[in-house]
Amino acid sequence: MRVRIRYFGRFAADIGKFSEEFEMDENATLKDLTKFLKEKYPFLKEEIIEVSINGKYAKENDPIAPEVSVFPIISGG
């Protein structure tokens, strides 16, 4: 499955892109996606990666979809 990943906040700034596409397994889950991203971008290893799939807050075992959004949790005020 072709998956378009949209990056938000510091993830977009650090990766240097707002989105990119990858080929992923049809049965891939969010867990697979975060593992894949952490391998591709080692600076993400220390990060908690939050993901929205089909507009919904996704949990570890949720299947991925052709478009996913990846964002960090931020704490500033």
66 binds another protein (CB under 8 A): no
- List own/partner pairs for 48-52 with CB under 8 A and 24 or more apart: 48/72, 48/73, 49/11
63 binds another protein (CB under 8 A): no
Residues 28 to 47 in contact with another protein, rule: CB under 8 A: 46-47
The contacts of residue 39 (CB under 8 Å, 6+ apart) are none
| Residue of 12, 24, 28, 65 that binds another protein (CB under 8 A) | 12
CA nearest to 67, candidates 12, 25, 34, 19: 19
26 binds another protein (CB under 8 A): no
Residues that bind another protein in the complex, under the rule CB under 8 A: 6, 8-10, 12-13, 18, 46-48, 50, 52, 55-57, 69, 71-77
